[in-house]
Amino acid sequence: MTKEILDKLTKEIKELEYELTVTLPKEIAKAAAQGDLSENAEYEAALEKQRLLQTKLMNLKKRRAEIAQIDVSRLPKDRVSYGTTVVLYDLDKDEEITYTLVMPEETEEGSDKISITSPIGKALVGKREGDEVTVRVPSGERNFEIVEIQTLHDKQ
C-alpha cells in the first residue's frame, strides 16, 4: 500500500518539477517581456504561482520522505493501525460498518477507505477486537464496538 502512495507522490513531484523548471519560466519570461514590471499583473501572478508551486513541492517531498520511513513489518498484528480493515458494530444505529484505515492520500469518496487522521481513524488506532470506542463527529458522538480486525499482516 505504501508503494502505491510513494509512486503517486513521486509522479506528482515530477510533474511539479517540470512545471517549475520548464513551463513556468516561459510564462514568467513572456510576462516580463511585456515591459514595466512594477505594474505588470501577469508577471506578479506568474511569480505568485511559482511561490505556491515551490511550497507545494516542498510539502510533497516531505510527505514522501515520511511515508518512505513506514516499516509495515513493525505494525502491530493484534491492534488497529495503518492498513487494517475493521468491522465495527454501531451501537447507536444497530448496524455493522467496515472501514479500512489508510493514509489521507489513499482515501476515495464512496469507498470504505478512511484516513487514519480522521476522527474515526484516530479513535480506532491502537484498539483491539472487543474494544468499545466513542468517536466525536460533527453531528455529536458515535459509539462502536470493534467486532473484527484484519491487519496488513493477515492480508499478506
Residues 6+ apart with CB under 8 A from 13: 57, 60, 61, 64
d(CA 122, CA 80): 10
Measured from the Cβ of residue 117, the count of other Cβ atoms closer than 10 Å reads 12
Each residue of 108-119: pLDDT tens digit?
888 899 999 999
Q: Which domains are delineated in the chain?
A: 2-70 (1.10.287), 73-155 (3.10.50.30)
What pLDDT, in 10s, does the model give residues 44-76? 888 999 999 999 999 999 988 988 888 888 888
Q: How far is CA 135 from the centre of its chain?
A: 20
pTM value is 0.69
CA pair distance 125, 23, nearest whole angstrom: 43
The better pLDDT of the pair 31, 14 is held by 14
CB 118, CB 64: distance < 8 Å: no
Under 8 Å CB-to-CB from 152, ≥6 apart: which residues? 1, 72, 75, 82, 83, 84
Helix (H, G, I), strand (E, B) or coil at 107: coil
Provide the CA 22 distance to its chain's centre, in angstroms. Answer: 28
pLDDT, averaged across the chain? 90
Retrieve residue 18's grid coordinates: 517540470
